[in-house]
Structure 1
Amino acid sequence: MTDDGTLSEEARERLADVVRLQPTKNKELQEAWGLESGSEVHSYLEGELKEYYYRDDNSLIRATADAADLVDVEPGVESGDGDDGGVPAVIRVPELESQVFAVVAGPNDRSESVVSVLNKVRDAYDVDPPVEDVRQALQNLRRKGVVEVIYRTVPTFRLAAHRAEIDVEISDS
């Protein structure tokens, strides 16, 4: 942090990494930042970003809501090469969201209802999540920019881009 309390350019970039990679660990940030050890990561976090991160119940590093607003980065999303506000190249999501992503209608297909997606998840993964959890997963994927909503009689969903254009990483949350 600079003397006036604002973040340096390096600190802002590293904070964006925390937001983008969350939930994350010292090791992942060590690799991203080119540091020698996890203790260097811890020292940097405590010295420069203390008010912008916290550790969750599993000791994973997460950014505060203020941090995400400050760096204007969507949590768990890595933008593509063009960085034009289009679909992200990588998303980090919980397992149910990855399952929903895998079965929801493609960008050239007819969009489908939450119940349709729920039934496809049940069939594909032999799980039975509550319909509200599937609805929430679809909304989270929409906020990440990889699913779009089409309003018909009921809101329906489909991918915003082809699955092959987006890598899905399952997070610990």
Structure 2
Amino acid sequence: MTDNRALSEQAKERLADVVRLQPTKNKELQDRWEMESGSEVHHYLENELKEYYYRDDDSLIRATAEAADLVDVEPGVEGGDGEGGGVPSVIRVPRLESQVFEVVAGPEERSESVVSVLNKVRESFDADPPVEDVRRALQSLRRKGVIEVIYRTVPTFRLTAPREEIDVEVTES
């Protein structure tokens, strides 16, 4: 295992990019890092960040859990820093999280319970997810900084910013 202190500041910044942008491709990192080619990105990843990333079944680049902890960045979030660090401008989420984001109460509306959000997902989409999956989706969106929790009799949820201020990109996971 590589010693965390061995990563340069540039390597840590680039690792944070991998965490934020995942799942990502060489081309996206090439543009972000202003490199000449995808091959140059691949060599950088292999030489500097080998222990902190992997390629999934679709050959997309993903960060390890250790990488996310090391750079303290929430995966799939751009702009803002997730929980407590401002509202992100882009989030990358699985389909259920995008559906939850689409139906949960807006920032000026009364917050709502997990069951209320579940019923709205059922009404709006041809979907019937388990209540625990909706709860996990809400908590994941909370960690990304786009949903806040209001504690009443039960925890309730609503957006932290208007929907149009946040681009949601659906991942296949």
Given the two structures, how large is their TM-score scaled by the length of structure 1? 0.89
Give me the whole-angstrom Cα distance separating, in 2, the residues matched to 1:91 and 1:132: 21
2:152 corresponding residue in structure 1 = 152
- Conserved in 2, the CA contact under 8 Å of 1:23 and 1:172? no
Give me the whole-angstrom Cα distance separating, in 2, the residues matched to 1:131 and 1:109: 22
Gaps of 5+ in 1: none
1:31 corresponding residue in structure 2 = 31
Any runs of at least 4 consecutive aligned residues in structure 1 with deviations exceeding 4 A, and if so which?
A: none
Residues 154 and 43 of structure 1: CA distance in aligned 2, closer, same or farther (over 3 Å): same
Give the letter for the 1:129 counterpart. Answer: P
Query: CA-atom RMSD, angstroms?
Result: 1.9
Q: What secondary structure sits across from 2:106 in the alignment?
A: coil
What does the per-residue CA deviation read over 1:95-154, in whole Å, with 9 as the maximum and x for residues that have no partner? 110110010001111111111111111111122111111111001001111111112222
Residues 104 and 5 of structure 1: CA distance in aligned 2, closer, same or farther (over 3 Å): closer
2:56 corresponding residue in structure 1 = 56
Shift of 1:57: 2.9
Give the letter for the 2:27 counterpart. Answer: K
1:69 corresponding residue in structure 2 = 69
Give the letter for the 2:167 counterpart. Answer: D
Gaps of 5+ in 2: none
- Conserved in 2, the CA contact under 8 Å of 1:109 and 1:158? yes
**122-131 or 40-49, larger mean C-alpha shift:** 122-131
Equivalent residue runs for 1:96-135 within 5 Å: 96-135=96-135
Give me the whole-angstrom Cα distance separating, in 1, the residues matched to 2:91 and 2:68: 16
Give me the whole-angstrom Cα distance separating, in 1, the residues matched to 2:9 and 2:161: 32
**145-154 or 55-64, larger mean C-alpha shift:** 55-64
Give the letter for the 1:21 counterpart. Answer: L
Shift of 1:88: 1.1
Q: What secondary structure sits across from 2:62 in the alignment?
A: strand
Shift of 1:172: 2.5
1:40 corresponding residue in structure 2 = 40
- Conserved in 2, the CA contact under 8 Å of 1:19 and 1:67? yes
Give me the whole-angstrom Cα distance separating, in 2, the residues matched to 1:10 and 1:111: 41
Q: What secondary structure sits across from 1:100 in the alignment?
A: helix
Shift of 1:91: 0.8
Given the two structures, how large is their TM-score scaled by the length of structure 2? 0.89
1:89 corresponding residue in structure 2 = 89
Shift of 1:5: 5.7
